[in-house]
Amino acid sequence: MAFASLALLLHGACATSRALASNRRRLCFHARVRTGPNRRGAARSTRTCATSRSVSVAALPSASDPTWMGVECVRQRDRFLSCLQKKEQHSGDAVPIEAVLPAQWAAWTARQSQAVQQWIRELGIVPKETPQTILIPDFGRHANSGQGAARMLQKVAFVLGTAVEAASPDDPWIGNAELWWSFGALPRTLPSGMYTVSQCEFANPDQIALAWTLGAYTFTAFQRTSKHAAATENTDVSPAQDGPQQAAVLLVQDGDVFEKVVQTGKACFLGRDLINTPAQNMGPEAVEKAVRELAAEYEGARVSSIVGDDLLEENYPQIHAVGRSALGFSGRSPRLIRLEWGMDQNKDAPLVAIVGKCITFDTGGLQIKPAASMRLMKKDMGGAAAAVALTEMILATKLKMRVILLLPAADNAVGPDAYRPGDVLTARNGLTTEIEHTDAEGRLVLADALVAACEHVKPALLIDFATLTGAQRVAMGSEIGSVFCSDPTLLDQLEKQSRIQGDYMWPLPMYTPYKGMLSSTIATMKNCATGGLAGAITAALYLKAFVRPDVPWMHLDINGFNNTARHGRPEGGEVMGARAIFHFIEEVVVRHPKSS
């Protein structure tokens, strides 16, 4: 009798499991729009969006919808741009900021009035290792008409730290970027009010404005105040919850500099918000919503997606395999998100294909990560965030080019349908991969997208961003990204822009002999090497198998996160490499296309 009861129990459990699996398949994407037959004769499920379409506020549930934050990140990305203002829009006085290098401190002090010199002596102010913001009072000579607490100031002495004083434009590693990055400390440390930089010998206006703007950023969407504790029924949050702390405002003399920095700031803020948003609110569908909302702001941008089991129908099997364990769960179904821009209006212009790894949370799969390694895995879509930021910079500046953005989006989750060690997957181009480790999933989804990026039209440049390997962080630390390139002649230009923009990338070798470390006895190759050697290089060699040999290709392996706060780069998500690549594209691909 006991055995019979156990058999019935097992039979019921299996039937329930099959029913749940069937329901998950049916629920894989409830909002799909049927558009037409595919090559197998079955209906194809895609979603398309023209720039004229946007998501209405009424369609955005609050915390009950785990995907709504994607749209909010786009809508709120300009919330810190009030820290900049055009000089022509401000009629009052502004407090002058005089930037002083430590070696110049004595000479600068000697030029000041007796009252200021005495005040400095009494306070014992001397240069230190870190920058100092010295607020010099008005001493009653006149009332400054600036706004806020700054009205009591005569000027600000911004004394740089001795740690960065030795930086030089000729530094082969980082140039003098850390000098101008120091201005990123000011918008959150100065009293509220209007300021202008009246003296600076080591930075130009656009560098100062950029550091100031990016330094104004905070992410407080999920913080709660006593006001919220009292109003427990208020469950809505947004990136601009309560508004940002009032930042000091920099007056910008040059209108072109102002517009340029605003465009860059919006793109960087969007990317940071996407990374900083908890994974519960930033799954694959939320990322898609963000891309659609962004595309709606730019004429000529089109978005489509292939979702759930349709990835198999459309031959994206590795994206599906990685994400199928989350298939059917609210907002978590895997997908390929595609944005195109300039395809009609810039038909003869260079085409740049941009691919971003978009693993919205990475548990490591069945070979699960330890707790400490999983803690920050909401950032495993940092490559996609950087790719989105780069795309917006291109669209906002209307560069004469064409863009294809591809984001293979999935959760690498644990479940009965999760892909396993030892499985063999077939990629879009027919190559097979034996799974050595389920935590090497990013390269699997990137492979399908890289193949798609090179189909139909040959790109002038193919770029992928990915938070791909721990080996890269071991080699470079958290502040420097790595770049692999199929054309070494392009690296010099990228390194130059990396130093100029303070967006540090450093080349690693595409050392072909290491490809043997990926050898498999039953498939084309393994998805990663055994052991801990050359992990970043072998990952790049794996991806190379999915790129057309005649297409110039750059692979950026980045951290995607500021582990500690630095001037202009607060702790949290960071779109590493996006600004350097944008200026590289602007210079090499658009202005001088022959060199690409």
Split at pLDDT 50, 70, 90, the class of 351 is very high
Residue 177: Cβ-neighbour burial (10 angstroms; 0-12, 13-18, 19+): buried
Over range 329-353, report the average pLDDT: 94
What's residue 141's pLDDT? 54
Q: Is residue 402 annotated as a catalytic residue, yes or no?
A: no
Q: Tell me which H or E stretch contains 455.
A: none
Task: Round the CA-based radius of gyration of the chain to a whole number and report it.
Answer: 26
What's residue 238's pLDDT? 58
What's residue 247's pLDDT? 81
DSSP letter at 566?
B
- Is the pLDDT confidence value at 43 over 60? no
**Which pair of tokens denotes residue 84?**
């900049």
Over range 130-144, report the average pLDDT: 78
Query: Residues 389, 395, 397, CA angle at the centre, nearest 5°?
Result: 105
What's residue 148's pLDDT? 57
Quote the mean pLDDT of the chain. Answer: 85
Give the amino acid at 549. Answer: P
What's residue 57's pLDDT? 31
Split at pLDDT 50, 70, 90, the class of 59 is very low
- Is the pLDDT confidence value at 574 over 60? yes
Provide CB contacts within 8 A for 19, sequence distance 6+. Answer: none
Place of tokens 């002999």: 513
What's residue 346's pLDDT? 87
Split at pLDDT 50, 70, 90, the class of 387 is very high
Residue of 77, 338, 443, 499 with catalytic role: 443
Place of tokens 């004429």: 299
- Is the pLDDT confidence value at 243 over 90? no
Q: Give just the sign of the alpha carbon dihedral 124, 127, 128, 134.
A: positive
Q: Is residue 369 annotated as a catalytic residue, yes or no?
A: yes
What's residue 240's pLDDT? 56
Over range 423-431, report the average pLDDT: 98
What's residue 281's pLDDT? 95
152 or 70: which carries more pLDDT confidence?
70
Q: Tell me which H or E stretch contains 282.
A: none
CB 9 within 8 A of CB 16: no
166 or 529: which carries more pLDDT confidence?
529
Domains (range + CATH), the chain: 43-51+65-80+243-595 (3.40.630.10), 82-215 (3.40.220.10)
279-326 pLDDT, tens digit per residue, is 999 999 999 999 999 999 999 999 999 999 999 999 999 999 999 999
Split at pLDDT 50, 70, 90, the class of 147 is low
What's residue 32's pLDDT? 31
CB 596 within 8 A of CB 461: yes
183-226 pLDDT, tens digit per residue, is 999 999 999 899 999 999 989 999 999 999 999 999 988 887 65
What's residue 9's pLDDT? 34
- Is the pLDDT confidence value at 453 over 50? yes
Pairing of strands 432-434, 424-426: antiparallel
316 vs 53: CA distance, rounded Å = 27
- Is the pLDDT confidence value at 41 over 50? no
- Is the pLDDT confidence value at 61 over 50? no
- Is the pLDDT confidence value at 142 over 60? no
- Is the pLDDT confidence value at 99 over 50? yes
How far does the chain reach from its first CA to its final CA, in angstroms? 77
Percent pLDDT > 70 in the chain is 82
Over range 438-450, report the average pLDDT: 98
| Range of weakest confidence among 31-35, 161-165, 173-177 | 31-35
577-596 pLDDT, tens digit per residue, is 999 999 999 999 887 765 44
Split at pLDDT 50, 70, 90, the class of 166 is low
What's residue 16's pLDDT? 39
Residue of 44, 188, 302, 369 with catalytic role: 369
Chain mean position to CA 132: 30
- Is the pLDDT confidence value at 474 over 90? yes
**Which pair of tokens denotes residue 380?**
């495993």
500-532 pLDDT, tens digit per residue, is 999 999 999 999 999 999 999 999 999 999 988
What's residue 170's pLDDT? 64
